Amino acid sequence: MMTSRMRVVYFAFAAMALCSSSDGASPAAVSLTEAGETLQTRYTGMLSALKTEIGNAVPAVDDQKRAAFLAAREGVKKATAEVGAAQQRLDKIQAARALVDHANGKWIGGARKAIAQAQEALKKATTDVEREAANKAIAKGEDGLQAGLKALEERQAALDVVMVDEAKNLQASKDACAALDEAEANELKAAKAILADLGSILSSDTLDAKLVTCAVLVNATPKGLAEFAQQDRADEGYARRWRGKRR
């Protein structure tokens, strides 16, 4: 069942589509095969038919409300990108910390454990072969320990560099998430402004499936969906099932 927020946004998308003369075609990015061109034509026809059908139920959109909704949508996109960028900076710190922990634990700790085991084996050795094997194990462990200590020094230095901005990055992430919440609230407000006069249409689920299909076609574009569906039979089957579920 579609939530009220989803219905508001989908109705707004549909209403926006009705104001556009474009069929949603996107600039060429991937060459369409013959099957892909057929699919694009099919999806374009679906969008055109949906514009006509929904247009009979949805009134024309006020230009100012339309501009406000578009601006709000861009605000959500920008805020989403900022959240992602902020998270990437935090992930970089976490990755650097994980490398330090690895050097301290598995690398250095493992080398020291191997040395201790080899030293114990040396104490218990009763033959030259056993002593030689134990000494080789000790040497190998010591080489590993030195490599681990060197790696730890390098990794700690790298962590120290990114840790300088940890507090700032944490705050930036918090601010970005708050900005996204605000942007989504603005988007919903702008969508509701477009739909303020729809009354019973908004509360009904009669057009839900068509609104979802229209929103997907507008956002992904017929060409984009065709590019996806032409990749292989599995994708075409998915796209076919998607079309069927929303009829």
pLDDT, tens digit, for every residue of 171-212?
999 999 999 999 999 998 988 887 776 655 666 677 778 878
Among 18, 50, 5, which Cα is nearest to 210's? 50
pLDDT, one tens digit per residue, over 76-113 is 999 999 999 999 999 999 999 999 999 999 999 999 99
CA 247/CA 238 separation, integer angstroms: 15
pLDDT classification of 213: cutoffs 50, 70, 90: confident
Residue 20 is predicted with a pLDDT of: 53
Between 247 and 58, whose confidence is greater? 58
Report pLDDT for 216.
82
Identify the DSSP state of 58.
S
- For residue 234, name the pLDDT band (cuts at 50, 70, 90): very low
Helix axes 233-245, 34-55, angle to 10 degrees: 10
CA distance 38 to 231: 13
Round to whole Å and give the CA distance between 213 and 242: 9
Average pLDDT over residues 44-61: 80
At residue 218, the pLDDT reads: 81
What is the spatial distance between Cα 162 and Cα 91, in angstroms, rounded to a whole number? Answer: 11
Contact 243, 57 (CB under 8 A): no
Q: Is the distance from CB of 191 to CB of 8 less than 8 angstroms?
A: yes
C-alpha to C-alpha distance for 23 and 45, rounded to whole angstroms:
9
DSSP 105: I
pLDDT tens figures, 107-130: 999 999 999 999 999 999 999 999
User: Which residues have a Cβ under 8 Å from the Cβ of 87 and sit 6 or more positions away?
Assistant: 173
